[in-house]
Amino acid sequence: MSHVAEVQPTAPLTVLQEEEILFQNSVRRFARERLAPHVREMDTQGQFRRDLLDEMFSLGLMGIDIKEQYGGQGGTFFQSVLAIEELAKVDPSASVIVDVQNTLVSNAIERWATPEQKQKYLSQLATRNVGAYALSEPGSGSDAFALSTRAVPDDHGYRLSGRKLWITNAAEAAIFLVFATVDPSAGYRGITCFLVERHTPGFSVGKKEDKLGIRASSTCELILEDVPLSPAQVMGEIGKGYKIAIETLNEGRIGIAAQMLGLAEGALEHALTYARERKQFGKRIGDFQGVQFELAEMATRIEAGRLMVYNAARLRDADEPFVAQAAMAKYFCSLMAEDVASQAVEILGGVGFTRDYPVEKLYRDAKIGRIYEGTSNMQRVTIAKALLG
C-alpha cells in the first residue's frame, strides 16, 4: 500500500485565512520596499546587509513559529512557507536565511531540546541571533550520515573535532546545530546533535564560498578543533542525531520548494512586465502567440508548484504524513523554477542576459534548488520508496 497521504483539506489549499493574508502582505511590503533596492548590491558583494537582517528580526520573520513565551510570533509552519515564498520573489538569498532559521534550526530545537535549552536558545533565535544547521562534510553529501566529525567523551563532557562544509548562514550565525558521531562503530546510530555557540574555544568559521547564485546568503566551512562541550549541549539523546536530521530535513524540503516557487513567481512577474512594454514589429511582444504560449506554460507550472507546496505545508501543520509530498514539492519546484527563470531570460532577450535586469540573477539563484537539502535524485528515491511501501 502506498504511504502517500490522501488527506482532504478542510478548505481549498490556495485559500488563505485572513491572518495569513495579512502576514503575507506584510512580508511582501518589506520585500518590495526595503529589500528590493539592495538586492543587486548584495549579490555583487556577496554579503547580506546587517540592517536588513535586523529588520527581519524586528518583523518577526526569524522566529515565525517560535512560541510567544520565547519571544517568537507563535505562528505556523505554513506561515513560514508563505514568508519564504514572498521573500524569494524579490531575493532568494533573503528567503533561504529565513528558511534555515525557521524550518531547520528553531524547528529542531522546538521538537528535540530540553526545556532549559529551549528557553536559552529559542529566545535568542526569535529576537537577535541567527542559527545554522551543520550536517554536511567534505565526504558526506547525499550520504549525509557518512560523518567524520567526532565527539570524544571526556571528564567534562565532549571534545568536538572535524570540519563542516556548505553551512548556510554560517557567517552571521551565533548558534549552530552540529552533527557529529560519538561512536563510529555504531554507524548512523552513533550520530548525535550538539548545540554549539560561536564563541566556544576551538570553534571557527572558515572559508566563505564564492557561489554562482544566492550569493548574499553566506555559505561557509566550519572548523572544529577540540571544541569543549558540556553534557547540557547535547540536543536530544546520544545516538539520536540521525533521527533529528532526517525529520528536520523532511520539513526543510518544503521550505526549499517554497523558495523555488517564489523565485519562479518573481521571474514570471518580470517577464510579464517586459512582455507588456517591449514592442517589436509595431506590437507588444506579449501580443505574439509564441510569447503568450511561453507565459501560459510558466504560469501553469507555477500554479501546480504552489498547490504542491501549500499541500505539503498544510499536511505538516495537521500532523498528517507529508514526507512524500515534501519530496515531490521540492523535486517539482526546483525543476520548474530553473525552467521558468530560463524562459524569463529568453522572453527578455538580450537585456535578460545582462545584469541590468533581475532575471539573470534569478536564473543563477535557481540552480541550487536541485542540489541542496537533497538532490533531485534523492527526492526521486524518497518518492519511489513511498509509492512502493
Catalytic residues, by residue number, are 373
CA dist 309 and 326 (Å) reads 7
Sequence-ordered strand ranges (E) for 57-142: 130-134
The answer for residues whose C-beta is within 8 angstroms of residue 340's C-beta and 6 or more apart is 264, 267, 268, 298, 301, 302, 366
Q: 27 with 86: CB under 8 angstroms?
A: yes
Alpha-carbon distance of 52 to 225, in angstroms, equals 33
Cα–Cα distance for residue pair 386/326, rounded to 1 Å? 11
Q: Which residues, 6+ apart, have CB-to-CB distance to 4 below 8 Å?
A: 321, 324, 325, 386, 387
Structure-block grid coordinates of residue 130: 541567527
- The rounded distance, in Å, linking the Cα atoms of 247 and 71 is 25
Sign, CA torsion 86/90/376/211? negative
> Is residue 369 within 8 Å of residue 256, measured between CB atoms?
yes
